[in-house]
Amino acid sequence: MIAYTKAGRKPLNAVCNGSIMNRDVAIERMKSTGVDLVVIGGGITGCGIALDAVSRGLSVALVEREDFASGTSSRSTKLIHGGLRYLKQWDFKLVNEVGRERAIVHKIAPHLVHPDKMLLPLVKDGKYGYWLTNVGLTVYDLLAGVNGDDRRQMLNKKETSELEPLLRDDILEGGGFYAEYRTDDARLVMSVLKSAVDEGATAANYCEVVDYRIKKDKIRGVRVKDVLSQEEFTIKSKLVVNATGPWVDQLRAKADALHGKKLFLSKGVHLVVSRNRFPINNTVYFDNEDGRMLFAVPRINKVYLGTTDTAYSEDIASPQTSAEDVDYVLKAVNHMFPSIQLQVQDVESTWAGLRPLIFEEGKGASEMSRKDETFEAHNGLISIAGGKLTGYRKMAERIIDLVFDRLERDNPGCTTDQITLHGGEFQDYAAVEKAVKKLTKEGMKQDMATYLVHNYGSSVGLLLHDVKSFETKDILKAELIYGIEHEMVIRANDFLERRTGRLNFDIECVKKFYPKVIQWMAKRLSWDEERIQEEKKTVESKLDEVTSMLS
């Protein structure tokens, strides 16, 4: 067992099997040591809360029923954005908060949160006319503190088509060109989580909360099932926060605390195509004929397209992209970019996610607010739902302020705006670009270098430490070893889908190398034949899930 300091925070032996992200050690620690706070849910909300709590001196345990970020937090549009839609609803306070958050998250994770100019084409009878776009984007920049070259530009028709020649010409009237940020949601979760663990939090994936520990009518911990061993254990705590996104109501119900407002789940899907097939230059936020807006987002050599917004009441754990969803998104893209005429067979991969929205009577899915909401139960359970990836830090700040109130402790205040996230140790954004250049100078292909630096940031040197060559197979193996040792990769899909994003953005690589990945994992983790077959089945069924509606 690892020895811990008296305060129970920093492990003395921070590196165990090469990692502070060691699941067995984490579970042993959770069983034996009570904590101030248990966080249920390893999405962006839960991980953000864990980091804020531990950085203010609380002892924290976080448990996730599947893999970290396996819920909504790996299935979003992956934008750190202010949300022009809030301006349309005159919610200046929210635009101000979310707008400023973009710059903060970019500063603390420059490798992961990239400035990305966005083009909003103005079309005849579109959702945002010239006036609203001009005033809106100006207010947006002001509220969000955007300066210099990043300020919005209003473009005429000619300038807009020069920027994006594939846009349809007959209805185009001009464009707004403004600053937003792009990220990788699952990597952001991992980066926040690793920062929390660096600070002393304990976290384990594949650990499902099945019940609460109740003492004198108050929730004082959780009963957890280790999904891999089927063993159950208890974590004692002073408080419990339920940050389970779409599952929030299930966990509230389990605590007999499902009163008042409830969740409304809305499904959104994305499709991935090759950038050669759809060669756009910028992220485009465009009108569909039905009055909704969609995104086309370039990401290295792919472009992803989305999203939909439809009421959802099926299995929360596995929302699927349907043939109708694919048809809807392709039609919208082909309407705005008519020379492209994307077909179903151009789609390489898909993903579907669930927005945990707060239900509002009489409103449709796309009209419901994206604001977060906190629920406090009679027995002390604190639940948080709604919100956005972009606002995770502020949501965490509000929750931990409340936790300090309830614990009646002196609150040192939130400092997560000053904590560089794991992998973000770069002087500035230019240094991120320099790191990419350095790898290409050493002989790595540009796409691979960009991918590695953006995914792993300043940890890329450690990852490539022993790499044999820059061939895909050798890099993949180096990533896998890094993932097992430093990012709690437990199952093959953790690696293929969330740590590397390859299932969505390089599916050919997954198809080619997944038997090898399973073989490497089997050797390293001493899997028996049964486990090998189970992993194979799980990867194949995931491959089927993201492509089945395309055949």
Q: Which residues would be at the binding site for ligand FAD (CB under 6 A)?
A: 40-46, 63-66, 70-73, 75-79, 81, 208-209, 243-247, 251, 268, 307, 353-355, 387-390
Q: Cβ(499)–Cβ(190) under 8 Å?
A: yes
Q: Which residue spans within 81-171 are E strands per DSSP?
A: 114-123, 153-156
Nearer to ligand FAD by Cβ, of 140 and 520: the residue is 140
Comparing CB distances to ligand FAD, the nearer of 22 and 321 is 321
Contacts of 114 (CB under 8 A, 6+ apart): 106, 181, 182, 183, 429, 454
The torsion angles phi and psi of 356, rounded to 5 degrees, stand at -85, 90
Cis peptide before 307 (omega within 30 of 0): yes
Q: How many CB atoms lie within 10 A of CB 15?
A: 12
Closest to 406 (Cα-Cα) out of 383, 384, 380 = 380
Nearer to ligand FAD, 174 or 319 (CB): 319
Q: Of the two residues 236 and 438, which places its CB atom closer to ligand FAD in the complex?
A: 236
In the bound state with ligand FAD, the residue whose beta carbon lies nearer, of 326 and 476, is 326
Question: Judged by CB, which is closer to ligand FAD: 71, or 200?
Answer: 71
In one letter, which amino acid is 518? I
In the complex, the smallest distance separating the C-beta of residue 307 from ligand FAD, rounded to whole angstroms, is: 4
Residue whose CB is less far from ligand FAD, 91 or 433 = 91
Which amino acid is it at 377? A
State how far the alpha carbon of 61 is from the alpha carbons of 17, 34, 50, 205, in Å.
Answer: 20, 9, 8, 11
Shortest Å, Cβ 508 to ligand FAD: 24
Nearer to ligand FAD, 246 or 501 (CB): 246
Measured from the CB of residue 49, what is the shortest distance to ligand FAD in angstroms? Answer: 9
Cα–Cα dist 59/193, whole Å = 14
* Beta carbon of residue 48, minimum distance to ligand FAD (angstroms, whole number): 8
CB neighbour class for 352 (10 Å; exposed up to 12, middle 13-18, buried from 19): buried
**Nearest CB to ligand FAD, comparing residues 60 and 63:** 63
Q: Which two tokens stand for residue 125?
A: 């009878």
Q: Is 310 or 334 the residue whose CB approaches ligand FAD more closely?
A: 310
Minimum distance from residue 182 beta carbon to ligand FAD (Å):
9
- What is the closest distance, in whole angstroms, from the C-beta atom of residue 205 to ligand FAD in the complex? 9
Least Cβ distance, residue 192 to ligand FAD (angstroms)? 10
In the bound complex, what is the minimum distance in angstroms from residue 217's beta carbon to ligand FAD?
21
Pick the closer one to ligand FAD by CB: 209 or 480.
209
CB of 242 to ligand FAD, least distance (A): 8
- Cα 392 from Cα 369, distance rounded (Å): 16
CB of 370 to ligand FAD, least distance (A): 7
Sign of the alpha-carbon dihedral angle for 163, 327, 366, 374: negative
Cα–Cα separations (whole angstroms), residue 431 to 117, 128, 155, 424, 425: 20, 37, 31, 10, 10
Asked if 60 and 51 count as a contact pair (C-beta separation under 8 A), the reply is: no
Least separation, in Å, of the C-beta of 206 and ligand FAD?
9
Residue placing its CB nearer to ligand FAD in the complex, 75 or 393: 75
Least distance (Å) from ligand FAD to the CB of residue 189?
Answer: 7
Q: Which residues contact 24 (CB under 8 A, 6 or more apart)?
A: none
Q: Contacts from 490-495 at CB under 8 Å and sequence distance 24+?
A: 490/23, 490/67, 490/205, 490/206, 490/228, 491/67, 491/206, 491/535, 491/538, 492/517, 492/518, 492/521, 492/535, 492/538, 492/539, 493/67, 493/538, 493/539, 493/542, 494/67, 494/205, 495/521
Q: Measured from the CB of residue 5, what is the shortest distance to ligand FAD in angstroms?
A: 28
**What span, in angstroms and rounded, lies between the C-alpha atoms of 466 and 283?**
36
Whole-angstrom distance, CA of residue 501 vs CA of residue 28: 30
Which is nearer to ligand FAD, 285 or 456 (by Cβ)? 285
CA pair distance 96, 467, nearest whole angstrom = 45
Distance CA 105, CA 59 (A): 24
74 touches 96 (CB < 8 A): no
